[in-house]
């Protein structure tokens, strides 16, 4: 199964490009599902028909879905949410505040994205295209499986053991409800699903991110930061789509400066993201809505190419054995040495890259190794591990 995630700064046209790519993929003979995880759904508007929480056939080989985040939360978080709400209420919050506090920021989009796990299990579709939330939310989503997994790995076993020991007398000691075993079981299942999602997203041969941008300074800078993040977490960007370029045939002097600016940013984008393939899409003279316009957009972007193909593959993270030790290499473009901090604690490697931080659980092979040195050169963070065993 091929999974494509479309993301970009809000307003760059990712929903329209997701829809156009899905339509083209279906017409190439792939059974395709396009889903929206963005809370502000607009896939329905792109296709000119109403989509809902269950996949709906749009045409032959093509299905669409706008996931109901509220239903996803009730299904995957319902019991935990009820417990947290009761806990917060016991601490003096009123019922409405307690309900609000029991749902964490970004949870709606996260649980929506987790739908790809169920589709991978059933293998009902050949291609899953995800219209993601704007990049800031997408970054939070894609780091969630690892961050949540870390907390549950370190805190969950202790809390469950403590709860079993204390629960019989808890009501006489603590002024709050103690979680039942089913709460811990739900947390365990959620952890398992998050791990599955991480495995799917990190499969560089089957899952790709397509980064959508417009040739404007703020948007290009945002795309650079996003690209660095994707590399830090081991996700692959297989293409960049530059959208809403003013067509060459537009000669109106009103657009002269604007076209000149776009040309300069196009050059910058090519230099920044090379060797990743870059596709261009011109600004249309009318709104892109409905199958006919989506087909025109897909043709502008992909031409005769199959839009589901893997356009570029690069493992952002590599581990190699060398001279009695190991080298860990991470491609981190658009950073400077001063933006990086690296340290090791037990079985974990902590990397701070600009505004982002990642905790990497080291493979068993490296458990008896310590960091010997870390260098940042040619956009790669290279970490050398040496054995502690003499």
Summarize pLDDT for 314-336 with one digit per residue, the tens. Answer: 888 888 888 888 999 999 999 99
Collapsed DSSP state (helix, strand, coil) of residue 331: strand
Q: What is the pLDDT of residue 167?
A: 52
The DSSP element (H or E) to which 211 belongs, if any, is strand 207-213
Question: What does the pLDDT look like over 198-230, one tens digit per residue?
Answer: 889 889 999 999 999 999 999 999 999 889 888
How would you class 389 by CB atoms within 10 Å of its CB: exposed for 0-12, middle for 13-18, buried for 19 or more?
exposed
CA distance 310 to 203: 12
* CB distance 11 to 230 below 8 Å: no
Q: List the strands of the sheet with 380-387, edge to edge.
A: 317-322, 325-331, 380-387, 369-377
CA distance 1 to 351: 32
* CB distance 237 to 11 below 8 Å: no
* CB distance 21 to 129 below 8 Å: yes
Collapsed DSSP state (helix, strand, coil) of residue 72: helix
Query: Around Cβ 158, how many Cβ atoms within 10 Å?
Result: 9
For residue 144 the two structure tokens come to 């969630």
Q: What is the pLDDT of residue 169?
A: 46
Q: What is the pLDDT of residue 223?
A: 92
Residue bearing tokens 């300069």? 264
Calculate ∠ Cα 359-237-295, nearest 5°: 145
Flag residues of the chain having pLDDT under 70.
Answer: 39, 78, 83, 102-109, 136-137, 139-141, 143-179, 389-390
- Crossing angle between the packed helical segments 69-90 and 181-201, to the nearest 10 degrees: 140
Q: What is the pLDDT of residue 56?
A: 96
CA distance 368 to 344: 12
Per-residue exposure over 176-186, b if at least 16 CB sit within 10 Å of its own CB, e if not: eebbeeebbeb
Whether this model's pTM surpasses 0.85: no
Q: What is the pLDDT of residue 283?
A: 93
* CB distance 7 to 38 below 8 Å: no
């Amino acid at each position: 199964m091929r999974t494509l995630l479309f993301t970009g700064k809000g307003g760059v046209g990712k929903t329209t490009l997701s829809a156009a790519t899905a339509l083209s993929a279906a017409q190439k003979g792939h059974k395709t599902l396009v889903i929206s995880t963005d809370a502000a759904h607009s896939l329905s508007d792109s296709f000119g028909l109403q989509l809902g929480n269950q996949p709906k056939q749009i045409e032959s080989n093509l299905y669409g879905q706008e996931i109901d985040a509220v239903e996803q939360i009730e299904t995957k978080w319902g019991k935990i949410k009820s417990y947290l709400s009761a806990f917060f209420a016991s601490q003096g919050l009123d019922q409405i505040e307690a309900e609000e506090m029991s749902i964490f920021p970004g949870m709606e989009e996260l649980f929506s994205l987790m739908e790809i796990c169920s589709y991978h299990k059933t293998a009902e579709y050949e291609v899953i295209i995800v219209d993601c939330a704007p990049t800031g939310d997408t970054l939070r989503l894609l780091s969630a499986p690892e961050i949540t997994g870390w907390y549950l790995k370190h805190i969950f076993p202790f809390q469950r053991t403590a709860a079993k020991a204390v629960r019989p007398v808890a009501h006489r000691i603590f002024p709050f409800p103690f979680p039942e075993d089913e709460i811990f079981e739900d947390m365990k299942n959620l952890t398992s699903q998050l791990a599955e999602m991480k495995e799917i997203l990190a499969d560089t041969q089957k899952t790709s991110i397509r980064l959508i941008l417009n040739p404007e300074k703020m948007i290009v800078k945002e795309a650079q930061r996003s690209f660095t993040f994707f590399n830090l977490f081991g996700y692959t960007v297989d293409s960049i789509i530059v959208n809403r370029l003013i067509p060459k045939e537009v000669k109106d002097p009103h657009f002269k400066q604007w076209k000149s600016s776009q040309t300069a940013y196009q050059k910058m984008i090519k230099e920044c993201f090379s060797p990743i393939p870059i596709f261009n899409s011109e600004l249309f003279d009318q709104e892109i809505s409905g199958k006919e316009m989506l087909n025109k957009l897909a043709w502008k972007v992909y031409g005769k190419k199959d839009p589901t193909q893997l356009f570029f593959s690069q493992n952002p993270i590599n581990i190699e054995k060398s001279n009695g030790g190991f080298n860990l290499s991470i491609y981190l473009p658009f950073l400077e040495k001063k933006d990086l901090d690296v340290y090791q604690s037990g079985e974990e490697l902590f990397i701070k890259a600009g505004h982002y931080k990642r905790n990497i659980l080291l493979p068993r092979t490296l458990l008896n190794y310590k960091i010997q040195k870390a260098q940042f050169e040619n956009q790669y963070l290279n970490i050398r591990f040496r054995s502690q065993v003499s």
